[in-house]
Amino acid sequence: MPNMNELLRQAQVMQNKLAKLQQEMAEKTYEAASGGGMVKATVSGKQELKKLEIDPQAINDIEMLEDLIVAAVNEAIRVSRENMEREMNALTGGIKLPGVF
């Protein structure tokens, strides 16, 4: 049976690695585009919208522009989440930890 102190040490090491990964992920940015590049959204690893670029030609059709913005932002968030999950799985060996990402 593993030593309790060793288990606690391993848990602390994992916690430190998770904290470092969370910090690194928060600093990364992810970009996605819609409408053939008419709208580009950039989000952080925390899924916060950091930048939105709109081609002036897209402004002529407000409904289309709204749809393109939603699509670009949602895609950037999806890419960000997928990357975080991939990094997390690499760190934890695929073990799902509640409350982390």
Q: Per-residue pLDDT tens for 35-86?
A: 999 999 999 988 899 999 999 999 999 999 999 999 999 999 999 999 988 8
Do 55 and 39 meet the contact criterion of CB atoms below 8 Å apart?
Answer: yes
Position 100 scores a pLDDT of: 54
Closest to 30 (Cα-Cα) out of 70, 84, 94, 89: 84
| CATH code for the structural domain at 4-91 | 3.30.1310.10
What is the spatial distance between Cα 21 and Cα 3, in angstroms, rounded to a whole number? 27
Domain ranges of the chain: 4-91
pTM attached to this predicted model: 0.74
Return the H-helix or E-strand segment holding 90.
Answer: helix 62-92
